[in-house]
Amino acid sequence: MAVASPAGRRRGSLGSRTAVLAVVAALLIVPGTAGADPKPTVKSLEKELAALRKDSDRMIEDYYHGRRELQRVEKAEKAAREKLEAAQEILDRESTYLRTMAVAEFMSGRRNELTMVAEEEDPADLLNRLALRDHLIAQQQARLSGYTQVRDRHLNAQKEAEARAEELSATVGDLAGKREKAEKQIERIRDKIDQLHKAPGRRGDGTWLPQLPGGPDNITPRMRLVKTLIAKRFVVPFGIGCYRAIQDGGEHPLGRACDFMLSRGGAMPSAAEIQRGHDISAWAIKNAKRLGIMYIIYRQRIWHVRTGAWRYMSDRGGATANHYDHPHISVY
């Protein structure tokens, strides 16, 4: 039987240890790999997007059902208020009449008592007076009965108006909650749509390959993607201007810049359009690195992807020149 040499035994020992270490490493690595979240694919994002759209459609439907319910409650609340006002008017009138009648009755009673004490009255006149008094009493009782009905109707109208007001308040609150929920869901859908798009030409180190402009709008593919996404998401009613032949040192002649107009003819935009400009700028900042956005100019301020912050610019002499009527977006 051959005896292994010391060198051979050492090689065998090293080989065994290597094999053991390999097994241990495999046991340590495999669970971590198995537990890692898979990278989202376009197909999985589209599936999630479809589910979000379905939920959003249902929420929007609930919202419009709530709008119709709100209109119904508003109408009922208005009718209840009108009924209450009418009942209040009748109540005030009857209350005034009863107070007047009570004073007259008191004064009449006091005069009759004095007359009966001071004079001896003819029995026939006394009977006539008593008959008239009974008639007045019957009239007063009928009036009191009518007043009670008026008072009850007034109380019922008041309760109904209060109930409708509470219902209206609850409906408005519920409706606002549904609308907010639907808007958040729609925003999530829009974010998912954005994630499905990535600008072409990005290198592995994060820099961007140069692109030539083309197509009928004479802009680069990266700029066209940004323009298309903004137009779909925000709807720019006053137009989008991109390519300009004038050589002003900017990116417009290179097909790498677009202006998203918020008004016409250099006029200052409305408050709603100013907010639209802020929304477009915020969206561009959020998606800048993925879409190859280099900088944004809006309301005499500039944001650059390198600094990640806004800074003020010098006055260029007008609403359009200072970008008060549009955000400007340039890409690499």
Cα gap 197→283, rounded to integer Å: 14
Rg (CA), the chain: 43
pLDDT of residue 122: 62
Q: Name the strand (E) or helix (H) holding 329.
A: strand 328-331
pLDDT of residue 49: 75
pLDDT of residue 19: 46
How many Cβ atoms from other residues are within 10 Å of residue 219's Cβ?
Answer: 25
**Per-residue model confidence as pLDDT tens for the chain (332 residues):** 444 444 454 444 444 444 444 443 443 344 444 455 566 676 787 787 788 778 778 877 877 777 777 777 778 778 877 877 887 787 777 777 767 766 666 666 555 554 554 455 566 665 666 666 677 677 767 766 676 777 777 778 778 778 877 877 787 788 778 878 878 888 888 888 888 888 999 999 999 999 999 999 999 999 999 999 999 999 999 999 999 998 878 899 999 999 999 999 899 999 999 999 999 999 999 999 999 999 999 999 999 999 999 999 999 999 999 999 999 999 99
Cα gap 72→64, rounded to integer Å: 13
How many Cβ atoms from other residues are within 10 Å of residue 306's Cβ?
Answer: 7
Degrees to nearest 5, angle at CA 123 with 119 and 129: 85
pLDDT of residue 2: 44
Q: 243 near 217, Cβ under 8 Å?
A: yes
DSSP state of 251: S
Q: What is the CATH number of domain 42-195?
A: 1.10.287
CATH 1.10.287 domain span(s) along the chain: 42-195
Cα gap 226→239, rounded to integer Å: 15
Cα gap 250→227, rounded to integer Å: 17
pLDDT of residue 75: 82
pLDDT of residue 10: 47
Task: Select from 111, 145, 150 the least CA-distant residue to 129.
Answer: 111
How many Cβ atoms from other residues are within 10 Å of residue 77's Cβ?
Answer: 21
Cα gap 164→109, rounded to integer Å: 47
327 burial level (CB within 10 Å; 0-12, 13-18, 19+)? buried
